[in-house]
Structure 1
């Protein structure tokens, strides 16, 4: 069997990191004990994955160390990295006694046709884990492979799987950030939450969750204001998730017309110049207080705008041009580990199930179009198109390196 893997040059290799290649290699016919061989069916691709790629060699993130590039013609683990993706697959071989051939699974995969994974001893009904002792313990959520048969959030329909790949990774970052802001009454709470890159899924899922809590509490406890580019303004307003939406050009004046209060700024864009303008606005506005600036994402960086091994989430000592040292940094696994000490596993599971069920019910009203791309040549071309023109918020991608018997290029209005 031949495997295909989507790889990117490491910035440290001196090659253009945006020149993706499809690497061919052999699939092992025999696999070691306590391993599984997956057939990766399809996977989501979004701005989140571009961030993984850009931070592939950064010391704190090390996204290229989850899956290693093969030693094959045109690539090696020294010159190339594999950008992780969230996807669905089926186990076609297993040498672990508690994990079985034929199981449908969801996890943090490589963009490949086949994926060989080691399985740690802590297998349970709901998941098994990939041992990665070279990575920090708080990366454990990324090492979890969900067993779909026992997953309370799983819906086997193709559209539901597509929505899971597109929203689930980003949604939980937004979910736990909103939980952190609310449950801790962080910085004394807030009357307004300002969110940059408001057209991105991470940002508008956060807005959705804040408004949902307002609705459950029966009062608009917090107003949500989105900042976005002029070209994305119409799309962002069409979502209906923000109380106000302003473009980056004129937001200074527009914010001044809103009621005064206690503000928290959540930066999803990762744009230092924008962040400086936001801070300057509130310094000049005596009646409103900016309690804190929180970094939740880096939608405006690419692999060519960040130095490898220089970014650090939550540290001011190692910062690159893509990360503002004046921001506080929210990293979901760290907060989740705290909540696991405060809440029972069943309580967390119930919180997540309720939120996910509501999202699946509500997201169909959002103006997002699903683009399914199948086949290695088509996936490579789709990636190159993204590099040329950027990701537009109206598009949601699901890719597969299988193309022979699967539909190609289908667009579906979600």
Structure 2
């Protein structure tokens, strides 16, 4: 089973039957066990061409792309002596039943995929972690790991980046799409910082949920941007909504010290908005670049240690409010994807796909 999307119409989907392939020497076959579906997966599709996300797992026909997800898989068959059958890993996967990889740089922590078509793609998406040695893995937190960890890594890096830049001399961080999981994690981490106010920007329908999280100092509405607080602000744009971005820039003007584009939860409103933006030009935040920087600064082992240290308390906190929805059939996967695409999923819920 491969779930594919029409790259020019993301509402047009199909399932393609796929037989287990014959392995060449050095290859391994991953049987995909489970993965999460969140707004993050929609971002991969929306930016599929611009950021080459489609290139990781080529579809069966031109013009189609596989939905990219994060989850668990086990080695079903191995033609690589360094990778044992039955090994369970966590990593970047297609929404599919199986994936052929070429394990390389094999260590006790796992391996990277050296498939030729992935050679020039960001290394942050190439690794597969052995759950037996992964410092962030806990068997009783698999759902939280599936749903939050890729987003957690991004939000950890956003928090680290802003703190490293002394918040660009701002006293306030405004985060759009405040009910999204990426925004929630970023706000959770930023709330632990001194001398910075964290403001969530959301819709009227999600306001009660966002306020109930108790991680934002205040919550504003999209139609009341002119009332946002702060003398000097940084904007973390997770919605990707051009009109909201324009309003935030207009409200703060030169008092906006940095504007960072992270996601596209409002992917249908990505038009840049009317006229020139007031204040600084938005800068796209690309997490793999920050991973490379901190890997060089600290070493990958220290980066992993810091992320794991931050992850554990967050996962425990999130488990207190997260409602997990478990699905498994093709019909359920298609329905869940389309609801995510159209922004119809309850922010308190998380969708976990477990394939038989």
How many angstroms does 1:66 deviate by? Answer: 0.6
3-state SS, counterpart of residue 18 of structure 2: strand
Question: Helix, strand or coil: the match of 2:48?
Answer: coil
Q: Distance in 2 between matches of 1:243 and 1:136?
A: 43
Equivalent in the alignment of 1:241? 215
Aligned residues: CA RMSD: 2.1
**By how many angstroms is 1:134 displaced?**
4.7
1:102 aligned residue: 86
Structure with max Cα Rg: 1
Change (3 A) 1:150 1:389: closer
Residues 1:210 and 2:190 are matched in the alignment: yes
- Deviation, 1:132, is 4.8
In structure 2, distance between residues paired with 1:274 and 1:388: 18
> How far apart, CA to CA, are the structure 2 residues paired with 1:100 and 1:135?
22
Q: Calculate the TM-score normalised by the size of structure 1.
A: 0.80
Instruction: Determine the structure 2 residue equivalent to 1:184.
Output: 165
Counterpart Cα distance in 2 of 1:385 and 1:328: 29
* Residues 354 and 386 (structure 1), Cα distance of their counterparts in 2 relative to 1, 3 Å cut: closer
User: What are the equivalent positions in structure 2 for 1:7-406 lying under 5 Å apart?
Assistant: 7-11=4-8, 16-28=9-21, 30-58=22-50, 61-70=51-60, 76=61, 78-120=62-104, 122-132=105-115, 134=117, 139-157=122-140, 160-187=141-168, 189-212=169-192, 214=193, 220-253=194-227, 255=228, 258=229, 260-283=230-253, 289-301=255-267, 326-366=281-321, 368-387=322-341, 390-402=344-356
Large movers: runs of 4+ above 6 Å: none
Secondary structure, counterpart of 1:351 in structure 2: helix
Structure 1 distance, partners of 2:120, 2:343, is 37
1:73-113: CA deviation from partner (whole Å, max 9, x where unpaired)? xxx2x031101100111111111111100111111011112
Between the aligned partners of 2:136 and 2:16, the Cα distance in structure 1 is 34
Q: Give CA-to-partner distance per residue, 1:232-281, whole Å, 9 cap, x none.
A: 1111111111000011112312x2xx4x5331111111111111111111
Q: 3-state SS of the aligned residue for 2:71?
A: strand
How big is the shift at 1:387?
A: 4.5
Distance 1:20 1:269 in 2: 24
Query: How far 1:399 sits from its partner (Å)?
Result: 1.4
- Displacement, 1:194? 0.8
Paired position in structure 2 for 1:217: none
Question: Alpha-carbon deviation of 1:341?
Answer: 1.9
8 Å contact from structure 1 (residues 379, 399) kept in 2:
yes
Any idea what the Cα deviations from partners look like across 1:152-175, whole Å, max 9, x if unmatched? 111123xx1111110001111110
CA distance in 1, matches of 2:337, 2:285: 28
Q: CA deviation at 1:118?
A: 1.8
Give SS of 1:18's match: strand
Taking the aligned partners of 1:125 and 1:191, their CA distance within structure 2 comes to: 44
Preserved contact between residue 376 and residue 400 of structure 1 (Cα < 8 Å):
no
Which residue of the partner structure matches residue 311 of structure 1?
none
**Structure 1 residue ranges without an equivalent (≥5):** 71-75, 215-219, 307-319, 403-414
Question: Aligned partners of 1:116, 1:387: CA distance in 2, in Å?
Answer: 28
Q: Which runs of 5+ in 2 are unaligned?
A: none
Paired residues of 2:38 and 2:340 also in contact (CA < 8 A): no
| SS of 1:48 mapped into structure 2 | helix
